[in-house]
Amino acid sequence: MKHIRITRRSFLKAAALTASSAGLFALTGCGGSSSAADPNAFKVGIVNYVDDASLNQIIAAVQSRLDEIAAEKKVSFNYADFYANAQADQSNLNQIAADLVADQVDVIVAVATPTALVMQNAAGDAGIPVVYAAVSDPEGAGLTGLDNVTGTSDALDTASVLKLITTHNPGIKKLGLLYDLGQPSSSQPIADAKAFCQANGIEVVESTATNIAEVQMAAASLVAAGVEAVFTPTDNTIMAAELAIYETFIDANIPHFTGADSFALNGAFLGYGVDYVQLGRATADLVAQVLVDGKTPGSIPYMSFDNGTATVNTDTAAALGYDMAQLKADFAPYCTQVNELVTAEDFE
pLDDT over 70 at 212, yes or no:
yes
Question: Tell me: the pLDDT tens digits for 259-284?
Answer: 999 999 999 999 999 889 999 999 99
Q: What is the pLDDT of residue 306?
A: 81
Q: What is the pLDDT of residue 23?
A: 37
What pTM does this model have? 0.84
From first CA to last CA, the distance across the chain in angstroms is 36
Q: How far apart are CA 127 and CA 133, in angstroms?
A: 19
Question: Tell me: the pLDDT tens digits for 132-166?
Answer: 999 999 999 999 999 999 999 999 999 999 999 99
**pLDDT, mean over the chain:** 90
pLDDT over 60 at 342, yes or no:
yes
Q: What is the pLDDT of residue 4?
A: 58
> Among 303, 278, 197, 184, which Cα is nearest to 235's?
184
pLDDT over 60 at 1, yes or no:
no
Question: Tell me: the pLDDT tens digits for 316-332?
Answer: 999 999 999 999 999 99
pLDDT band at 98 (very low <50, low <70, confident <90, very high): very high
pLDDT over 70 at 35, yes or no:
no
Q: How far apart are CA 101 and CA 126, in angstroms?
A: 7
Q: How far apart are CA 54 and CA 279, in angstroms?
A: 11
Is residue 301 within 8 A of residue 150, CB to CB? The reply is yes
pLDDT band at 304 (very low <50, low <70, confident <90, very high): very high
Q: Are strands 302-305 and 3-6 parallel, antiparallel or unpaired?
A: parallel
More confident position, 310 or 24? 310
Structural domains of the chain, ranges and CATH numbers in brackets: 3-154+275-305 (3.40.50.2300), 158-273+308-341 (3.40.50.2300)
Cα 28 from chain centroid (whole Å): 27
Q: Give me the torsion for CA of 211, 217, 219, 224, rounded to 10°.
A: -160
CB atoms within 10 A of CB 9: 10
Share of the chain above pLDDT 70, in %: 89
Q: What is the pLDDT of residue 348?
A: 75
Is residue 336 within 8 A of residue 343, CB to CB? The reply is no
More confident position, 35 or 24? 35
pLDDT over 50 at 104, yes or no:
yes
